[in-house]
Amino acid sequence: MPSGEICVLVGPSGCGKTTAMRMVNRMIDITEGDILLDGRSVKEFRPPELRRQIGYAIQQIGLFPHLTVAGNIATVPRLLGWSKNRIRARVDELLELVSLDPADTRDRFPAQLSGGQRQRVGVARALAVDPPLMLMDEPFGAIDPINRERLQNEFLRLQREIRKTIVFVTHDIDEAIKMGDRIAVMQRGGKLAQYASPAELLMQPANRFVEDFVGSDRALKRLALQRVRDVDLWEAPLVRVGDSVAEARARAADSEVPYPLLVDGEGRPQGWLSDRALSGERIDPEFTSRAEPIIELDDVLRDALADMLQEEVQYGPVVDERGRVCGVLSIEILGHALKTDPEQVPHGADAIEVAE
Amino acid sequence: MSATYAVLGQFGDAVRFIFEGETTREGADVGGSQFLDLTWEHLKLTFAAMGIACAIAVPVGLWLGHIRRGNFAAISLSNVGRAVPSLALIAFFVAYLGTGFTNVTLALVLLAIPPILTNTYVAVSQVERDTVDAARGMGMTAAQIVRRVELPLALPLIFGGIKTSTVNVIATATIAPLAGINTLGDPIINVSGYGDTGRLAAAMVVAALAVFTELALGAVQRAVTPAGLKLESDTASRRMRFRPGREATT
Amino acid sequence: MILELAQVQIQDRSAGDAGCVADNGFCPSWIADNFGRYTDPLLQHVYLTVVSLAIGFAISFGLALVAHRQRWLVAPITQITGILYTLPSLAVFFLLLPITGRGNETAIIALVSYSLLIIFRNIMTGLDNVPAESKDAGLGMGLTDRQLLWRVEIPLALPEILAGLRIAATTTVGLATLAFFAGAGGLGEQIFADINFKSNVVTAGGLAVLLAAALDALILLVQRAITPWTRARVA
């Protein structure tokens, strides 16, 4: 497994993907073969020592109910004897990293957090001592589908920053394609069916099982290989309350998008302006139609398409991390993307091998 | 070594006392068959108190549990009942109502009610709502639901309460002689008539009676557990037993 | 040889409202005047209760820690402590008499053996109810078994453990009223000394109930203080 990449173990339930992951930190004993970390066998370490070097995030999250958020995150640093100041600083740093307000969250108990917040604390806890390797077992499994998408995007954004080596287990092939740099498809009985990049998996499935597992909508699934940030977006004709109708019409005429997009003072989308809104001298904000779906740069094209179809629109505003409009995605752009080849995934230096 | 023999000897004497009896200096026959009289008094008291207590506590518990009200009262009753020392209760009754079988029985009834009431309440109120809803949906009246659905499912815990209560009453009936009823506590409280051996003998009989009752009622408890419940009994009964502040005794 | 049952003296009632006292009535003035004679028994009672609870807790805790690792021990321990629990304390006092003689020790041994089942069962249930995912996460993060036990499992089991301690405390106070039969003093001795006098019975009995309530409240306060997370509500 190359370092700095996310390797996804995916397969139907009972195929042994969780077992495989748990063998890496020896929560399950290895009976045959070996697992090497940077060339060293995991069997060389005492299990607790080994595990303190590996981040561990599980589906049910497993926060300690009796510790505050800060206490939870500080667990391994305390074990390693960090100073109080260092721990405090690190806790705040990590909370910011997972988009939680430290002052607000630090002293809460898990019972006081929502599912999404707990999940983020779980990730922060796993990252506490900055381990080179992380194991994640269906970490977004316990979250509702709407928030799951958001958390996945955030996590990918995070990973771009911190570049950890991650073993990620999931049963959902779509999540695997979205999250993984490399994917290991496993069959019942712990057999490895294919280990390849997402693109290869979609275009050259190794056998019947992989083909079935990936699903027959492979062409559409290819849309999952590209993210909104990867395609050329149309420029958005932005108008603010107070702009004249004439300005609004002018901007729309300039752009490929036929309707002006109303934004607030900070550039966040409020709605599309229909003809009725443009009938007077000034823009009448009453007659805007919904801005939804609001698409993020990290969304995969497939999800964006699904959202747009759901809302029955042809255009969707695209926002950056701070919610400001940076472009417009249209069905036309997506259709174009379907025809082009998906990008390849680069290789990194070998850090983890699974030896037979 | 000889100390051990001395101890064993005393127990041996006590056993003999139970079965053969002695004649005291005053010429009274004690032990042996006379113990049977004492035991019978003891049991009479126990049955009377338990009978009345069950007649009161079980219906009230069933009803409260069915309508799922009175949770706080039921639990507090148990807590308060535990805090009142049995000696104080008996002494209180003796001081205010005087001696006699009825008065002592009354005191024992008060002692016996809390575990039965609490257990019955907890058992019935913890029958899964889905089960009760299904029964109501099938057209059962409230009385039918209680009789056919809630009661069978609650029986094990109810019997647990009855078992605990009975053992408590047997233990407390030992001090009934203070109120003038000569149970097996007589040799213990009025030791002069019986001697040390008699006292030890009485203690042994009381202990044996308690253990026997516990085992016998435990067997009854197991016998009334519906087969389906037995399979899931461990987790369920543990959950029912030990929620903090909401415990029933088994 | 007939031993005395207890050093019981029918106490001289002395002082107070003569008419009320002579009637064996409930006389608040008499109680106020003679309250001093209840302090010693009360203190003895507190001593017996607290010592028995401390020893009972220590033994139960030790047994629970062992049984937590060696599960096969749970059933036998439960059965043995169960029998000790069933034996009426009064009987136990006298069964112990030939072996340990009269005095505090006998009473304490009996009171301890009664409380073992309650505390042991509650500790075991508390430990068993620790969420499995917390344990998995703890081990996965690199806690050793011992660290997991002391930093995660026991803190999370505390509510159950302290609930058991509360039950044991209230019942022990009640049983300790019989302790004078074993020659250990306490409020029971005071009740027995003048069992027909309402003022006496109500005062001594009332003090016992108050003591039980006080211990119960005290343990509850301690629990509230050291388990803040149990009161945390979703914001």
> Is residue C15 scored above 60 in pLDDT?
no
**What is the structure's pLDDT at B234?**
47
Backbone angles phi, psi at A112, to 5 degrees: -95, 5
> Is residue A33 scored above 50 in pLDDT?
yes
What string of DSSP letters covers A169-217?
Answer: EES-HHHHHHH-SEEEEEETTTEEEEEE-HHHHHHS-SSHHHHHHH-S-
Q: How far is C230 from chain A (nearest CA, A)?
A: 8
Q: How far is B145 from chain C (nearest CA, A)?
A: 32
* Residue keyed to tokens 């937590």: C68
> Is residue B139 scored above 50 in pLDDT?
yes
Residue of A nearest to C226 (CA): A66
A352 — pLDDT class (breaks 50, 70, 90): very low
Q: What Å distances lie between residue B127 and B57, B60, B155, B225, B239, CA to CA? A: 18, 16, 11, 14, 12
Q: Give the closest of C135, C138, C234 to A111, CB-based.
A: C234
Q: What is the pLDDT of residues A164-216, one digit of tens each?
A: 999 999 998 888 988 888 999 998 888 899 998 888 888 788 888 888 888 76
Q: Which helix (H) or strand (E) holds A85?
A: helix A84-97
C1 and B238 in contact by Cβ < 8 A? no
**Most confident listed range (A25-39, A237-251, B40-54):** B40-54
Q: How far is B131 from chain C (nearest CA, A)?
A: 25
- Give the whole-angstrom CA distance, residue A75 versus residue A128: 8
Q: Is A235 left (phi over 0), alpha (psi -120 to 50) or beta?
A: beta
C144 and A48 in contact by Cβ < 8 A? yes
- Give the whole-angstrom CA distance, residue A119 versus residue A62: 9
Q: What is the pLDDT of residues C115-164, one digit of tens each?
A: 999 999 999 999 999 999 999 999 999 999 999 999 999 999 999 999 99
ipTM of the complex: 0.79
Q: What Å distances lie between residue C173 and A246, C50, C67, C112, CA to CA? A: 88, 9, 28, 12
**Chain B, window 183-242: residues with a beta carbon less than 8 angstroms from a chain C beta carbon:** 185, 188-189, 191-192, 195-196, 199-200, 202-204, 206-207, 210-211, 214, 238, 241-242
B23 — pLDDT class (breaks 50, 70, 90): low
Q: How far is A22 from chain C (nearest CA, A)?
A: 9
Q: How far is C108 from chain B (nearest CA, A)?
A: 17
> Is residue C68 scored above 80 in pLDDT?
yes
B200 and C83 in contact by Cβ < 8 A? no
Mean pLDDT (chain B, rounded)? 81
Beta-strand relationship, A40-41 and A34-37: antiparallel
Mean pLDDT to the nearest integer, A108-127: 91
- A–C: how many Cβ contacts below 8 A? 79
C137 and A62 in contact by Cβ < 8 A? yes
Q: What Å distances lie between residue B107 and B79, C63, C88, C90, CA to CA? A: 17, 37, 18, 18
Within 8 A of C212 by CB-CB distance, chain B residues are: 82-84
Q: Give the closest of B10, B91, B188 to C90, CB-based.
A: B188
* Structural contact between residues A125 and A73, judged by C-beta atoms closer than 8 angstroms: yes
- Give the whole-angstrom CA distance, residue B193 versus residue A272: 103
C-alpha angle with apex A127: A122 to A132, nearest 5 degrees? 140
Within 8 A of B207 by CB-CB distance, chain C residues are: 87-88, 91-92, 95
**pTM score of the predicted model:** 0.77
Q: What is the pLDDT of residues C201-221, one digit of tens each?
A: 888 888 999 999 999 999 999
- Give the whole-angstrom CA distance, residue A295 versus residue A250: 25
Within 8 A of A122 by CB-CB distance, chain C residues are: 137
**What is the structure's pLDDT at C6?**
43
Residue of A nearest to C229 (CA): A66
Backbone angles phi, psi at A186, to 5 degrees: -115, 145
B188 and C94 in contact by Cβ < 8 A? yes
Q: What Å distances lie between residue A103 and A70, A74, C231, CA to CA? A: 10, 16, 21
* Residue keyed to tokens 């999370």: C156
Mean pLDDT to the nearest integer, A280-288: 73
Within 8 A of C227 by CB-CB distance, chain A residues are: 66
A75 and C143 in contact by Cβ < 8 A? yes
| Mutation choice for A interface testing from C141, C151, C156 by most A CBs within 10 A | C141
Neighbours of chain A (3+ CB pairs under 8 A): C
Mean pLDDT to the nearest integer, A269-292: 78
- Give the whole-angstrom CA distance, residue A313 versus residue A315: 6
